[in-house]
């Protein structure tokens, strides 16, 4: 069986901090959010690797990136630390076909902003309010096996206006107790690669233990996996396919 090669990249800073807040987060995610996501989407046809910011080459040496078919990205406090050269490499890999799944505060990651072109800004508020998700397209592969609506008891609010391009195909929208709405599950294609942004996942709530959240992320992995990665193409088409009879004017000087 051919396995999809998945890499879960996590900033892994909130879970590592030596503080009461860090300890609280570790009560949900003792080995980091990436470890829980990896466990909850595990399947025979997935080959899942984890990577974190503090590792050599910020966790994504070229060999691993070139061996990745779907990349998941969770970042927040250290967006600025991610090197532009790494962002360049990831962008190029997405353009060649690699799937990219951007989670929660990754909306402000360098790589997501790079792929979108807009600022990806949004309203936000973290008071632990209730979030309810609604499926907008029940036929979408990412929504299969998930109830049309489900609830997260405590969540960080992400609200409209969300500065993303108009080609975002909305699969999920969220309702928040405090009165906000959000396009919380949105698909894009950039060149040959697919991108899925999914909003839930604040580090101080056990959201990646939620069955529906994990089913959506799992579905997104299969949806974003490329049939193949495309090699670079020669774009200079010197010889036309059809005969040209125009005669290019000679420069007269």
Question: 13 to 42, contacts with its own copies by CB under 8 A?
Answer: 20-21, 23-24, 27
User: Which CB, 37 or 116, lies closer to its own copies?
Assistant: 116
Q: For residue 117, how far is the Cα from the chain centroid?
A: 15
Q: How far is the CB of 43 from its own copies (least distance, A)?
A: 18
List the interface residues with its own copies, window 135-174 (CB under 8 A): 135-139, 141, 144, 148-149, 151, 153-154, 157, 159-163, 165-167, 169-170, 173-174
Q: Do 109 and 73 touch, CB atoms closer than 8 A? A: yes
User: Which CB, 56 or 235, lies closer to its own copies?
Assistant: 235
Q: What distance in Å separates the CA atoms of residue 40 and residue 218, rounded to the nearest whole number?
A: 8
Q: How far is the CB of 100 from its own copies (least distance, A)?
A: 11
- At 170, is the secondary structure helix, strand, or coil? strand
Q: How far is the CB of 178 from its own copies (least distance, A)?
A: 3
Total binding residues toward its own copies, as defined by CB under 8 A? 87
Q: How far is the CB of 81 from its own copies (least distance, A)?
A: 18
Between the CA of residue 172 and those of 42, 112, 118, 168, what are the distances in Å? 23, 18, 20, 11
In terms of Cβ atoms closer than 10 Å to its own Cβ (0-12, 13-18, 19+), residue 73 is buried
- At 177, is the secondary structure helix, strand, or coil? coil
User: Which CB, 35 or 170, lies closer to its own copies?
Assistant: 170
User: Which CB, 28 or 49, lies closer to its own copies?
Assistant: 28
The pairing of beta strand 149-159 with beta strand 169-176: unpaired
List the interface residues with its own copies, window 194-253 (CB under 8 A): 204, 226-227, 230, 233, 235-238, 240-249, 251-253
List the interface residues with its own copies, window 75-114 (CB under 8 A): 91-92, 95, 97, 114
What is the signed CA dihedral for 100, 50, 107, 188, rounded to 10 degrees?
Answer: 10
């Amino acid at each position: 069986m051919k396995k999809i090669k998945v890499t879960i990249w996590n900033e892994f800073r909130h879970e590592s901090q030596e503080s009461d807040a860090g300890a609280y987060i570790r009560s949900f995610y003792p080995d980091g959010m990436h470890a829980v996501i990896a466990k909850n989407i595990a399947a025979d046809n997935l080959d899942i690797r984890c990577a974190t910011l503090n590792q050599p080459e910020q966790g994504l040496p070229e060999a691993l990136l070139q061996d990745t078919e779907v990349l998941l990205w969770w970042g927040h406090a250290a967006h600025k630390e991610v090197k532009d050269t790494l962002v360049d490499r990831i962008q190029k890999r997405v353009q060649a076909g690699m799937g990219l799944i951007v989670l929660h505060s990754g909306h402000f990651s360098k790589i997501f902003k790079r792929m979108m072109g807009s600022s990806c800004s949004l309203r936000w508020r973290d008071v632990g309010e209730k979030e309810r998700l609604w499926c907008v397209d029940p036929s979408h592969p990412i929504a299969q096996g998930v109830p049309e609506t489900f609830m997260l008891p405590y969540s960080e609010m992400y609200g409209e206006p969300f500065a993303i391009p108009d080609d975002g195909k909305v699969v999920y929208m969220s309702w928040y107790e405090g009165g906000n709405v959000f396009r919380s599950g949105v698909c894009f294609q950039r060149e040959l690669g697919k991108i899925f942004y999914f909003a839930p996942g604040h580090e101080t709530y056990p959201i990646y233990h939620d069955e529906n959240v994990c089913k959506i992320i799992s579905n997104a992995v299969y949806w974003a996996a490329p049939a193949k990665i495309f090699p670079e193409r020669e774009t200079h088409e010197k010889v036309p396919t059809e005969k040209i009879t125009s005669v290019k004017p000679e420069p007269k000087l």
